[in-house]
Structure 1
Amino acid sequence: MGRPRKDGQDSAVSRMEAAFFRVMEETPFGKLTVRAVVTEAGVNRNSFYYHYAGIDDLARSAVANLLVPEIPRMILRGLGPGSEQVVQVLEGVHGDDRLRKLLILIGPNSTSALRAMLKDAVLDLWLQTFEVERGDLTPEESATVDFLLAGALELVGQVKQSDARAALSRLSSIPIVQESMRIAVLTLKAAGTRS
């Protein structure tokens, strides 16, 4: 692991992750290069390969660092996706930047592989919260959770960057979205009870 910087600048990892999102705003994920990321981040290739095996590895790390583990925990405790507490956490530290990055991940420069990476990371976070392994899900439960998660990401993917916060607020208040969240929670709780 590299030494911390004395000048107070962000670490190489955080700079490369930030550069990943900046480059993705202009470049399709399938055409993203290590050179573009390291140039944007102001680091060298050795630094990149010290931390990552390649662009997919950087993407997985960036996705994992984007997720907010408190959200599924709050929903497990019975709070709805549009509840004041959940909204406060989402809007908390770097909320607008986090939302901008999420929209980049599922936006026009994304790929099916990158969207699948995001979907898997979100699913893994939820499974971890509910203390469930993928193998604990029945085929019906797995299909239910996949369907609901894909639908949620599709809805979020239609949100425009300029109207993101208001649009997500509207989405979270739609009855079918709230019902979908309820079904997801019940499904994961049922799987957790069996395991």
Structure 2
Amino acid sequence: MARPKATERTAPEKMQEAFWTLLERKPYVQITISDITRESGLNRSAFYYHYTNIPELADDAIAAIYEQPDVTAFIAHIIRQDENIDALREYALRFVDAPERLASIRRLSLIAGPHGSTGLASQLKSYVVGIWLSVLSLDESRLNPGQRIVLEYASSGMLGILGKAQTLLTPDSIEWLARSAVPDTISQLINSLKDGREH
């Protein structure tokens, strides 16, 4: 059997790509193994060699986004206050100017949007919260009630924005947002978690 060329995608990569294509077209709960095999051009044996079920494939596809350092850095960078707000806005504009980064944001929006599921959205929310807590050096189990409310409010808002990213995050609106007080307000809200530490 010939080895795949270095540029050729692996079977899991083909199935993950099929997953995202299908999630664009239909709700997550309606995606079947037959859909994945048809869209990826692979057979059921290939699917079952790598995955047990669709949720396992979905976890793998989503983890591939989380492993992209640019996505994690973007989420972390926005709440850091080690630069002035103008520098943060310029960073945001540069980030969304890259097609591969926009593709990742698009995929995150599919998770949080109407074709996603409660489980997928919860996984995404946990990921965002984990980055914020790591950047702020906070332990989730030690948060006080006020911090928990702020964290729930901010992370639910982030999911709401991601779920409507196609209509909310157009090039014009991104330009407007980057020049508005919104990034500073979001940064201050999340950074306010540090003020609630118990001594």
- Smaller-chain TM-score bracket: 0.7 to 0.9
* Structure 2 residue 131 is matched with structure 1 residue 125: yes
Match of 1:30 in 2: 29
TM-score after normalising by structure 2: 0.76
Q: Residues 21, 138 of structure 1: CA spacing in aligned structure 2 closer, same or farther, 3 A cutoff?
A: same
Aligned positions, number: 191
1:78 is matched by which residue type in structure 2?
D
Q: Which runs of 4+ in 1 moved over 6 A?
A: none
Query: Which structure has the larger Rg?
Result: 2
Q: Residues 128, 34 of structure 1: CA spacing in aligned structure 2 closer, same or farther, 3 A cutoff?
A: farther
**Separation in structure 2 between the aligned mates of residue 111 and residue 132 of structure 1, nearest angstrom:** 28
Q: Which runs of 5+ in 2 are unaligned?
A: none
**1:65-84 Cα shifts (integer Å, max 9, x gaps):** 22411113423253559611
Range 144-153 or range 105-114, more displaced = 105-114
* Structure 2 residue 9 is matched with structure 1 residue 10: yes
Match of 1:72 in 2: 75
% identical aligned pairs: 22
Q: Which runs of 5+ in 1 are unaligned?
A: none
Instruction: Please show how residues 6-155 of structure 1 align to structure 2 within 5 Å.
Output: 6=5, 8-67=7-66, 68-75=71-78, 76=80, 78-79=82-83, 80=85, 83-92=89-98, 94-155=100-161
**Separation in structure 1 between the aligned mates of residue 141 and residue 169 of structure 2, nearest angstrom:** 39
**Separation in structure 1 between the aligned mates of residue 162 and residue 73 of structure 2, nearest angstrom:** 19
CA contact (8 A) 2:92 2:178 kept: no
**Separation in structure 2 between the aligned mates of residue 78 and residue 118 of structure 1, nearest angstrom:** 26
2:119 is matched by which residue type in structure 1?
A
2:161 is matched by which residue type in structure 1?
L
CA RMSD of aligned residues (A): 3.2
1:164 is matched by which residue type in structure 2?
T
TM-score after normalising by structure 1: 0.77
Q: CA deviation at 1:168?
A: 3.8
1:99 is matched by which residue type in structure 2?
I
Q: Residues 15, 141 of structure 1: CA spacing in aligned structure 2 closer, same or farther, 3 A cutoff?
A: same
